[in-house]
Structure formats: structure tokens, C-alpha cells
Amino acid sequence: MKWYERHVDAGLTRWSLGELSAPESSRLLRHAHACSRCGSRYNKWARAHRVFESGQTDTPTTMELETLTVAGLEAALGAAAPPDAAHSRWPTLAVLGATLAALFAVVVVPTVRPTPTEPEWSPRGVVHDPAPPAVPLAQPVLRIFCAAPGQSLREVRTGTACAPGATLAFAAGARPPYTHVAVRVRAGGREEVNGPFALSGSAGEEGPLELTVALPATSDMAEVTAAFSEHPDATLAALRGGTTEGVVVLRQEVRVEEGP
Amino acid sequence: MLPGNERSVLEAFRRGDTPVLTQVYRTYSPEVLRYLSRRFSVHSEGGARSVALTPLDLDAAHQETFVRAFRPHMRQAYDGVRPYLGFLLTVARSTAIDLMRASGRVAREAVPLEDAPELVHAPDDSRTPEEEALSSEIRALVRRFLDALPEEGRDLAQLRFMDGLSQEAAADQLKLTRGEVRVRERRLRLQFTEHLKDSGWLDSDAAPGRLELGLMLATLSLCAIPFGSLP
């Protein structure tokens, strides 16, 4: 079923031949659930094939069983992800603008290979690297969001401000081996270290962190620092001034004042 | 590589390791589908009756069963001692109840949550008159298709679908190669889909709507006739 096939009808013939791929099967079923006319048509189609193949309306055909099995795997694995990695909670994050990676000052300790240069027009999160693929690549991303009363959630980029008394929220993603992140926020003379949080998404697939931090009620400059590592303890150690071997640290300052 | 077999696999399952979860899903998905596609007996004030999920509800129930079973707290809840299939089918039954309630096929008061075990597999095949009518309609549709087939097509349909023979076994009986059976079977399925489309049966739901529309237009037309033009 191509993307431009608007209704189930076009996919049903290929469905009954077992020729739909897993994504196509999922798409067909999702559409059938959402479109009452198509859902009814799917039910009739399936029942007719059941009777044709087994003589029973309640016995699924082998093709139907295969299709349903293939189509349900993705959803089942998605449910297994830990709650803090569930992208559906903040679906808009996945489609928000460009990554903050380029906006961050990236501090990579000498023992970590520098992030490879990406060619122009490459999709976000895709790393073009001549090195052997066995070598893990670093491209962690931390995105900061400002939640102010009476305003919609917006991403905080370099040079933009978040209002006093507002709340910061975060999303992060990284490629293996960076599986954990810890976040430190300094503002109003206070320092708060949170985490480590487990990461499951890669760059370009950042997931929300179970973390919000209230900003001071007066104008200030907040500093957000995130440490990524494959070892949860190492992320905290790096933020507390300990060893930084194998840790990638990202830092961004956020102006705490009224206005954009 | 299933959670009840080895301690390390159980731990990997509880951690949510994708390869283990994929293996578990692939192993048990057909069993769950078979379980969900049977008829369920429902006890209510009006007595016992049997209900079945629609084909589309079967997809929803199957998917929801694994979504629920694979959630972190449910993975932790599995003790690794009981057979995992039993655990999974308990989730499937609860999912089927929820779905049938949500779709209105089972009244909320018919299967209270605390009485969920009353939703068991029906021992008989008691169907509602509507289901019987639908089944007869489909059988007639299939019979018309089979009757219109040449003998070799009917023989192939009989061996492969009604008798459930493999392609190899059907090829032996029909003195064909397996490749020939595969090609003919594909053609048979295509012909059947064309038959479904051509018969208009897939669109038959729209018929009452068209009838109502016709009646409404006819009524409007009558109303629009000037009284003076009547004899």
C-alpha cells in the first residue's frame, strides 16, 4: 500500500495475498480502526476469506494470523520502553525544529573521539563517519524547554530567555554507548543535580526526562549542564567534579528574564 | 529463549531486552491470536450467550494484550515459575472483556470486573440470529465463487483450504510442482478478491443508506409539486 492510497480497499488485495510489508500492514490496520467505512470493509473482507479458507467465520486465515503478528510487534516493543523514554508523552518533541546540538558548547574530554563532521543536508541524527562502524559514535543531545504560566511550552535556544518563576523541562537522546544522562542546573545561587536518567532514543529521537526545575523568581542567568556516559555513576561524578573519562558534557546558559 | 526457561533470560525479559521480547512475542503471538479468535461465553441477567471479537477487534485485542503484558510493571509481575502463556492468556482475556465492553457488544453490567472469570470460552457454537445470517450469506458467496471455478481450481481450493494440506501435499495430489501450486493459489486468491468486489457484497452496508436517501428525495419531490398542478 503506497502512501497515496487513501483507503483500505487498495491494500486489501495485497493483504489477502500476504504481500504487505510490516509497516504497510500496520498502516492498513491503523487506517481501518480510524475509518468506520474501511473498518467495516476490513471485517467483511476478513470474514469472507476465513470462510473461503476454513469454512468458519471465526477462524482467522493463516495470512491474517501472519499479518496481525507482524503488525503488532512494533507496538508491543514500544510498550516495553521505560516511561521516561516514551515519546508519545510529548509527541511534538519529535517534530520540533532543529537540534540544540549545534547550539551547545560541546566539551569532550580528550579520551573521547571528537564528534565527526556531518555533511550539509544530512538528516538530523544520521552520522556520516568514515571510521569503522564498530567504533561507537557520540552525538548526545539535550533540549531545554521553558514552561511559563499562561504560555505554551517552547524550546529555549541560545540567546533566548525564560521568564522568572517559570519551569524548565528537558529532553535528551544519545547514541550508544551513551546510555545515561545526568543534569545539573545552577540558578539563583542554588545548584541542583538530577539523574542519572536512562536513555533509549538516539539523536533526533530525544525523549523527555522525568525532570522539571523551577527558575528563580528574579532575573538571573541559569546554567544547565548535562553529562552523558554509559555508566550511570560516571554522569554524576562528572557533574560533581570527579572523573570525566568517557563522559560527554553539554552546557548551555539560559537567561532568566521577561521577554523572548 | 523464553522467560520461564532460564534465569538469565527471565532477567533479560524483565529488563526489557528487545531480542528477548521479540522472541517472546513471536513465540506466543499465534497462541494469543487463536485464543482471542474463539468465542467467549458471557453470563448476564438474560442468561449465557457467546460472543466473538470482530476481525478488526481481534487485531486491537492482540496488540493490546502484548502492549499490556510488556509494560515494565507487568514484566516484573511475572514470576518465571508459572508458564508464561497462562500469564499472557489471562491478560488477553481481560483485554477481550475491556474491548467488548467498550464496543458495546457486552453490557457493562453483564461482566462485572470482579466476575471477569465468567468470561470463558464457549463450549458450544451458539450464535445470534444476526451472526447466523451473516455466516449463511458469506457461505453462499463462497459457494457461488467455487461453483464458477473450473474443476482444477475447485480441487486446489478444496485441498489447500478446506482440507488444510500444505502446498507440497496438494502438489502431490494434483500431480503438479510446488511452484505451479503456488502460482495457481495466488491466482485463486486474486479471483476470489475480484469476486468479492464484483459481487457488491463489500458495499452492501451502503444499500440501506441509498434507499433512505432515495425515499427522502422522492418525498421532497412530492412536496415540491405545486398543488395547482395536481388533478
Q: Is there a domain that residue A43 lies in?
A: yes
Kindly state whether residues A52 and A142 are assigned to the same domain: no
Quick one: CA torsion of B152, B154, B158, B162, rounded to 10 degrees? 150
DSSP B201: G
In 3-state terms, what secondary structure has residue B61? Answer: helix
CATH of the domain at A165: 2.70.50
Residues of A in contact with B192 (CB under 8 A): 16, 48-49, 52
Pick the last residue of a domain from A52, A80, A108.
A80
Residue B36 has pLDDT above 90, yes or no: yes
Query: How much is the CA Rg of chain B, to the nearest whole Å?
Result: 25
Test A77 with B139 for CB contact under 8 angstroms.
Answer: no
Are A17 and A109 in the same domain?
Answer: no
Burial of B35 by CB count in 10 Å (0-12 exposed, 13-18 middle, 19+ buried)?
A: buried
Whether residue B192 and residue A16 make contact (CB cut-off 8 A), yes or no, is yes
Give the pLDDT score at B44: 63
Grade residue B10 by pLDDT with cuts at 50, 70 and 90.
confident
The 10 Å CB-count burial string (b at 16+, else e) for A5-27 is eeebbebbbbbbebebeeebbbb
Domain extent for A206: 91-256
Residues A99 and A189 in one domain: yes
The answer to whether residues A121 and A249 belong to one domain is yes
In whole angstroms, what is the distance from residue B23 CA to residue B29 CA? Answer: 10
Residues of A in contact with B145 (CB under 8 A): 52
Residues A118 and A74 in one domain: no
- Which of the listed ranges A78-92, B54-68, B190-204 does the model predict with the highest average pLDDT? B54-68
In tens, the pLDDT along B122-178 reads: 445 567 777 888 888 899 989 899 889 999 888 998 888 878 788 889 899 999 999
Bridge partners, A167 (sequence order):
A147, A214
Q: Is residue A202 part of a domain?
A: yes
Residues of chain B with CATH 1.10.1740.10: 7-121
What residues contact residue A43 under an 8 Å CB cut-off, 6+ apart? B54, B55, B56
- Across the A/B interface, how many CB contacts are shorter than 8 Å? 129
At residue A107, the pLDDT reads 43
When pLDDT is averaged across residues B83-100 and rounded to a whole number, the result is 87
- DSSP alpha helices (H): ranges in chain B? 7-15, 18-37, 55-69, 72-77, 84-102, 129-147, 151-157, 167-174, 178-199, 206-224
Which of B52, B59, B142 shows the shortest C-beta gap to A48? B142
Q: Which residues of B touch A48 (CB under 8 A)?
A: 138, 141-142, 192, 196, 201
Residue B29 has pLDDT above 90, yes or no: yes
ipTM above 0.90? Answer: no
Shortest CA gap B128–chain A (Å): 13
Final residue belonging to a domain, choices A80, A111, A137? A80
Cβ neighbors of B212 (< 8 A, separation 6 or more) are: none
How far, in Å, are B63, B136, B137, B163, B199 from residue B143 at the CA level? 33, 10, 10, 16, 13
A100 in Cβ contact with A252 (< 8 Å): yes
pTM of the complete model beyond 0.90 = no
Contact A52 B142 (CB under 8 A): yes
- Counting every residue written for chain B, the total comes to 231
Distance CA(B153)–CA(B28), nearest Å, equals 34
pLDDT reading at A82 higher than 70: no
Partner residue opposite B66 with nearest CB, options A16, A57, A76: A76
Of B60, B67, B138, the CB nearest to A47: B138
CATH match of B129-204 with 1.10.3720.10? no
Residue A211 φ then ψ, to 5°:
-155, 130
* Residue A108 scores a pLDDT above 90: no
Quote the pLDDT of residue B58: 93
B7-121 folds as Rna Polymerase Sigma Factor; Chain: A (1.10.1740)
Helices A62-80 and A22-34, interaxial angle, to 10°? 90
